[in-house]
A and B are shown apart, each in its own frame.
Chain A
Amino acid sequence: MSDHNTSDRGTPETTTSDRERVDDASPIGRRNFLLGAGTAVAAGLAPTAAAQAQPQAGSAAATAAANPNDDALLTLTPNEAAFFSAVADTMIPADALTPSGSACGVTIFVDRQLAGAWGGGARMYRAGPFRKGKPGQGYQLPLTPREFFAAGVIATNEWSRKTYGKDFDRLAPKERETALKELESGKAALGEFDGKQFFEALLKITMEGFFADPIYGGNRDKAGWRMVGYPGLPAVYSTLIDEYRNKRYRVDPQSIADFS
């Protein structure tokens, strides 16, 4: 499916392996590195080094990443940001199709979502008493999404240290994959915390960050949309639906921001 990888999107092959090397050589820890240019600058890393560290994600994403304001965090701690980046890069590894999940802005998306009304528990019924439900009764914790993810990161890192000797984000890519599979299957023992429930929430918010309109901070350069061939807006197809019946419709995708 080489036609999914359009030529104007740089060289996404500059991926995990390059980043591993940069990380190994850098006096700046992985955590700061994964936060992207803005935090790296704040941590004293020279802008040129930070720019090199960024995967070449295509023009729009590169521009976005070069603007410190776009990568400044609202709510995630450095540990949490490193965790979500590691999850995003494992679920959405860089390859010929797209840059990595974090390079596509998934971490920033998570930060914005958890800092906003949704993260604070909007549109949830939060009154007690609380008790464990049966399957099919849905989420039954008193935690807001912001609190739920914070607790999940701590529980997962504790388990990761016990099992692999390191926090999740410090594991090698293969180990991260194994660890996520353990979470997904429910085999990871996270004590009080339901690791499978946490995994499902991680998968959902990561995919949202990859495929939501770029106005939310993820899906940079519409990488998720380009990957599948989703055109975004304006989505006015009353004549095109006939013209493109059983024919590929491919255009440069457009975001809400492109019409605002």
Chain B
Amino acid sequence: MATRLKEVDAVMVGMGWTGSIMARELTKAGLTVVGLERGEDLTPREHFALPNVRDELKYTHRLELVQDPALETLTFRHRPSDHALPMRRMGSFLPGNSVGGAANHWGGLHWRYLPSDHLCRSHIVERYGANVIPADMTIQDWAMTYDELEPYYDRFDKLCGVSGKAGNVRGQKIAGGNIFEGPRQNEYPNPPLKMTESALMFEKAAIELGYHPFPQPISNASRPYTNIEGLTLGACQYCGHCDKSGCEANAKAGPHVCILPLLRSDPKFTLRPRAWVSRLIYDKTAREVTGVVYTDTRSGEEYEQPAGLVVLSAYVFGNISLLFHSGIGEPYDPSTGKGAVGKNYCYQLSRMGVTMFFENKEFNPFMGAPGSSMALDDVDGDNFDHTGLGFLGGSRFACGHGDGRPIGYRPVPPGTPRWGAAWKTATAKWYSHAANIAVSGSNYANRNNYLDLDPTYKDQLGRPLLRLTYNFVENDYKVMEYTLGVAAKIARAMNPTIMGEPRMRRGDYDIVPYQSTHNTGGTIMGTDPKTSVVNRYLQSWDADNLFIMGASTFPQQPAYNPTGPVGALAYWSAEAIVTKYLKSPGPLVHA
């Protein structure tokens, strides 16, 4: 029998970006808040310090900061007719496992979604007609426009100290920034990071071809920066480790640097690490959740934490599985299209690009950060005319160096063996002379890509694992082929000594190699409770005091990395709770 604890005003399930933002906003509004986190607590000074923070084996290959699949993983199959098997090791994506969440080891790429991404379906219908959308492509509009979310994007920019160059300030297009982006009210808080030689070469070639390259926006401060909470970030050291490690310079934005120091000293906030939430307590008739049940993993004891408000702020999979385990909402059924929990799981098309080898260039690939790259958005989203192309969506490109860690980064020209004397010679010769145009594509929702519960496999608490049914579809292959063609054109214009084969993804999705931690969907937002899980304020349609954060609310995934809108949506939802819900508890949107 779970021990019942004293009721608090609000409980956060997960203490990464969204749990931290929400806890901060609610405590500022006077609420008492408990933050529950399954993993351990970390502090940058203790856990992200030199010299051990520079350990490629530990962080990139033994996945020190990543969720332990022994506790909870998911099963995976390519199609509903296949047999799902557990993902026994983390690979394709790497959710976090501790206070700070995946932001402890994120690369810091910080994007806003395009205005047309926010209106995905209606924008396409308006421009091309409804007929261009394949019958099995279940894309939906977001529940708020870009312009509505802009102030919250802006706020999250200023929390993180994003470094970049604006391409559209209040409608004024600015050369050198991303001219395709939606209008922003302010320039980025910090100037772009310093660019690598490869980034500058890419920029030059792209401009000559008529494209519009710009510095890749990044949540690594390019200079010391004091954020809107009065907390200070250090300047980026270009160490080449940040996409899998913590940051000793406190230059990479994350809850530990940007918010948690304030929460830790706030008497209205209690952080409870090693508290694994197994379910929410749901009263379907009253349309509310009365609290959560968690296991303290230090004692094995079960506790009930009653709360007036419950915020699901775990990773995508944690949010979805807690709805299933608590009986909240109707599970999605691909055969009928009915139900919304688990629907529209999307990912990101990655591991694509073109590697180039330049005999007379020195790239020092270990110097850099993901932000010391030039990006390109010309064939992303609906920034280009899709008439007659036979697909929807697109890809964004980036070229630079920021991860030259040699266990993982050892580019060699095509045809080189993978070991032996010839491999050694080629690896030694080309390590510092190769550059890559990385291509990441959008992934639009498909009727058969979804999440439900597995009938066989269980997690460490004895709950069924989530079952992922996912594969690439025809639209994805067309996005890859078209956009890789453009990347190859730019690569050729950079005039390499040797050009690698464009890396096209063929065949079924493979859950083993790392691709990106940009899983989305499953608790999507919308305007209709039949086809979505949360309303425009991320409030559950089925429980008025339940709010669901994060990328699980995205109806589909553009080519961008999701953290920018994840943070913006947390601020947007928090403001709705404070200014609307607390004054008049109940549904904020009447369906």
Q: State the A residues within 8 Å of B (CB).
A: 1, 4, 90-93, 95, 97-98, 118, 122-127, 129, 131, 133-140, 177, 180, 184, 203, 206-208, 211-213, 215-216, 224-225, 227-238, 240-242, 244-249, 256, 258-260
With the chains together, A206 CA to B420 CA distance in Å? 12
A125 and B87 contact, CB distance less than 8 A: yes
B194 and A242 contact, CB distance less than 8 A: yes
Contacting A95 at CB < 8 Å: which of B82, B91, B424, B512? B424
The answer to whether the Cβ of B55 comes within 8 Å of any Cβ in the partner chain is yes
The answer to whether the Cβ of B204 comes within 8 Å of any Cβ in the partner chain is no
Q: Top 6 A-B pairs ranked by shortest CB distance?
A: A259-B51, A228-B431, A91-B419, A212-B57, A235-B239, A237-B238
Nearest CB in chain A to that of B361: its residue: A246
With the chains together, A59 CA to B294 CA distance in Å? 55
B512 and A213 contact, CB distance less than 8 A: no
With the chains together, A231 CA to B63 CA distance in Å? 22
Min CB distance A97 to B, Å, is: 5
Interface centre among B364, B458, B507 (most CB of A within 10 A): B364
Contacting B362 at CB < 8 Å: which of A91, A93, A248? A248
A-side interface mostly? loop
- Given A127-B457, A203-B418, A139–B57 Cβ distance below 8 Å? no
Q: State the B residues within 8 Å of A (CB).
A: 50-52, 54-57, 61-63, 66, 68-70, 73, 76-78, 82-83, 85-91, 194, 196-197, 200, 235-241, 361-364, 366-368, 372, 404-407, 410, 418-421, 423-425, 427-429, 431-432, 456-458, 507-512
A238 and B85 contact, CB distance less than 8 A: no
A123 and B69 contact, CB distance less than 8 A: yes
Chain B residues in 8 Å Cβ range of A228: 406, 410, 427-428, 431-432
A136 and B419 contact, CB distance less than 8 A: no
B427 and A240 contact, CB distance less than 8 A: no
- Would you mind naming 20 contact pairs between A and B with Cβ atoms under 8 Å apart? A1-B428, A97-B425, A125-B89, A127-B86, A135-B508, A137-B87, A138-B76, A140-B88, A212-B56, A213-B55, A233-B50, A235-B237, A237-B366, A241-B372, A244-B367, A245-B196, A249-B367, A256-B51, A256-B52, A258-B51
Chain B residues in 8 Å Cβ range of A95: 421, 424-425
B419 and A208 contact, CB distance less than 8 A: no
B367 and A237 contact, CB distance less than 8 A: yes
Contacting B458 at CB < 8 Å: which of A127, A184, A207, A248? A127
B196 and A241 contact, CB distance less than 8 A: yes
Chain B residues in 8 Å Cβ range of A92: 419, 424
B61 and A124 contact, CB distance less than 8 A: no
Chain A residues in 8 Å Cβ range of B236: 238
Chain A residues in 8 Å Cβ range of B237: 235-238
Chain A residues in 8 Å Cβ range of B406: 211, 224-225, 228, 230
Min CB distance B450 to A, Å, is: 17
Chain A residues in 8 Å Cβ range of B407: 207-208, 211-212
A125 and B508 contact, CB distance less than 8 A: no
Contacting A231 at CB < 8 Å: which of B78, B82, B366? B366
With the chains together, A234 CA to B51 CA distance in Å? 7
With the chains together, A69 CA to B200 CA distance in Å? 49
Chain A residues in 8 Å Cβ range of B86: 125, 127, 140
Contacting A208 at CB < 8 Å: which of B57, B66, B362? B57
Chain A residues in 8 Å Cβ range of B66: 123
A124 and B429 contact, CB distance less than 8 A: no
Contacting A241 at CB < 8 Å: which of B77, B235, B367? B367
Contacting A136 at CB < 8 Å: which of B55, B78, B200? B78
A216 and B57 contact, CB distance less than 8 A: yes
A247 and B362 contact, CB distance less than 8 A: yes
Contacting A138 at CB < 8 Å: which of B240, B425, B512? B512
Min CB distance A163 to B, Å, is: 20
Contacting A234 at CB < 8 Å: which of B50, B55, B70, B361? B50
Min CB distance A175 to B, Å, is: 14
A93 and B61 contact, CB distance less than 8 A: no
A230 and B89 contact, CB distance less than 8 A: no
With the chains together, A91 CA to B427 CA distance in Å? 13
Contacting A238 at CB < 8 Å: which of B90, B235, B427, B508? B235
Min CB distance A95 to B, Å, is: 6
With the chains together, A135 CA to B235 CA distance in Å? 44
Nearest CB in chain B to that of A228: its residue: B431
- Given A235-B239, A237-B239, A246-B361, A133–B85 Cβ distance below 8 Å? yes
Nearest CB in chain A to that of B401: its residue: A241
Interface centre among A131, A133, A203, A230 (most CB of B within 10 A): A230
Contacts A136-B510, A137-B85 aside, 19 further interface pairs with beta carbons under 8 A come to: A1-B429, A92-B424, A93-B420, A124-B88, A125-B89, A127-B457, A127-B458, A136-B507, A136-B509, A137-B87, A184-B418, A230-B404, A235-B241, A237-B237, A237-B238, A238-B237, A240-B238, A245-B200, A259-B50
Min CB distance A74 to B, Å, is: 17
Chain A residues in 8 Å Cβ range of B241: 235
Min CB distance A149 to B, Å, is: 15
A213 and B57 contact, CB distance less than 8 A: yes
Min CB distance A38 to B, Å, is: 23
With the chains together, A213 CA to B406 CA distance in Å? 10
Chain B residues in 8 Å Cβ range of A177: 420
With the chains together, A230 CA to B363 CA distance in Å? 12
